[in-house]
Amino acid sequence: MRKLHGQPVIIVGGGRGGFALLELFLEDELVDVIAVVDHDPAAPAIQVAQFYEIATYTDATEAFLACQDVPDVIIYNLTHDDNVAKKAAKVFEGKKVTDGLEAKLFWQIVMNLKRIKEELESSQVQLNAIIYNAIDGIITFNDKGEIEGFNPAAELIFGHDQQDIIGKSIQVLMPDLVEKGDEAFINRFLRSREFGLIGVSGYEMSAQRKNGQRFPLELSTSEMILNGSRYFVCIARDITERKLVEEATRHAAHHDYLTDLPNRALFLECLEFAIPLAKRNGQKVALLFLDLDGFKHVNDTLGHANGDMLLKEVAMRLLSLIRNSDMLARIGGDEFTFILNNIGNEDNAIGVGNKIITALSEPFDLNGSICNIGGSIGISIYPDDTLDPEALLDQADEAMYLAKKKGKNTCKLFTDLHEGP
């Protein structure tokens, strides 16, 4: 069944090139071939187009006039008739036709994709990826780095119009290909494989839009020799959204969904980093383990929604009490942990613990419901109590339970466990 929606395309030339291009576009939902033109009604692409109920013509002008009301139509001229572009310009008011060297390069890409498709028919996933690449941004440039081809998808990605970017250096789109103040670098880059870019699929790099905005780009670049000259064909994909999703996924894996504080996994990771750093600098690290007093009562009487709001408010208060070099995490329920780097001595750690208890003693307003809670805090010190990060957390946990046993709303050191009653 012929596709009803997509980018409108007219193919001029029903021979081998037009047939291959039509075959490729028929398999992609983003493209809608609205006409195929060839003076020979028995041309392969004409026969296929008629099978799929696509309009066919033996005269290019007739086809253009029939399609002149279709917005943003793309015309591929795969013939040697230079008058096709002139005919299109008259009908479509100066519209550029993809022909000449650009069409030949594009045709070679299509033929390469067709060949690769036949080799990879057993893998539908790979096949879909290859076909999709054909309608990503396609940029061709010569061995001087001058852009010679720039398809509509590339215009959307980079924000440059085709007529403005043709002839300019590839550096305009990918500034990192050229070192500062060294224009000759682009030639060295193109003549060597030191960066491993040529012939590599899925190479990620920073690119630049017309407005100066930097964005992540995925590039697949191939090299080809045409009529004795060397050219490069880039299939470019804007991966900004993918990177945002990846970053959001990484963030979600290491942060508490409710308070957005680091979770237990990230806390332990940072603790594993803080201990060797303190050892190297001859410093001490304090680990504080806080368990809220009275939270269960609030949750049971005011509901889970208010309980969640309370945890968020607690997190905000706690963050205001620590330095940028310290860390606060929620490791579960109503339990919070702190890493206090370069704490100096245990008195400083106790001072921070008392500030926390004081801050928690202030009433909380939860949508008009006033509630009061407290906190029990356990403190362990590296290297005084242990050299092992996990043991340090266990010791602070034990000290926290001692604080609860001693009446709550207080803080205790791990060393207090070994003192008499």
pLDDT digits (tens, 9 = 90+) for 127-171: 344 434 446 888 888 888 889 888 888 888 999 998 999 999 888
- Report the distance separating Cα 395 and Cα 389, nearest Å: 10
Which residues sit opposite 327 in a β-bridge?
339
Residue 419, burial from CB neighbour count under 10 angstroms (0-12, 13-18, 19+): exposed
Which residues sit opposite 57 in a β-bridge?
37
pLDDT value at residue 117: 66
Contacts of 183 (CB under 8 A, 6+ apart): none
The DSSP output letter for 248 is: H
Q: Is the dihedral of CA 54, 56, 62, 63 positive or negative?
A: positive
CB 349 within 8 A of CB 340: yes
Q: Which residues are catalytic?
A: 334
Sort strands 374-382 and 285-293 into parallel, antiparallel or unpaired.
Answer: antiparallel
* Pure H helices in 9-123: 16-26, 44-51, 60-66, 83-91, 100-119
Domains of the chain: 7-241 (3.30.450.20), 255-418 (3.30.70.270)
Output the six-digit token pair for 173: 């789109």
Amino acid in position 260: D
pLDDT value at residue 421: 53
pLDDT value at residue 420: 53
pLDDT value at residue 380: 96
Residue 147, burial from CB neighbour count under 10 angstroms (0-12, 13-18, 19+): buried
Encode burial over 287-326: b for 16+ CB neighbours within 10 A, e otherwise. Answer: bbbbbbbbbeebbeebeeebbebbbebbbeebeebbeeeb
Phi, psi of 208 (to 5 degrees): -135, 130
The rounded percent of the chain whose pLDDT value lies above 70 is 87
Nearest to 275 by CA among 397, 396, 382, 349: 382
pLDDT value at residue 352: 95
**Residues in the chain with pLDDT values less than 50:** 1-4, 127-134, 180-182, 185, 194-195
CB 377 within 8 A of CB 410: yes
Output the six-digit token pair for 56: 């066919």
- Spacing of C-alpha 67 from chain mean position: 38
The DSSP output letter for 239 is: -
Q: Is the dihedral of CA 121, 126, 129, 130 positive or negative?
A: negative
Nearest 5°: CA angle at 91, between 87 and 94?
80
Encode burial over 216-245: b for 16+ CB neighbours within 10 A, e otherwise. Answer: bbbbbbbeeeeeeeebbbbbbbbbeeeeee
Largest Cα span, the chain: 104
- Report the distance separating Cα 399 and Cα 419, nearest Å: 12
Nearest 5°: CA angle at 50, between 48 and 53?
115
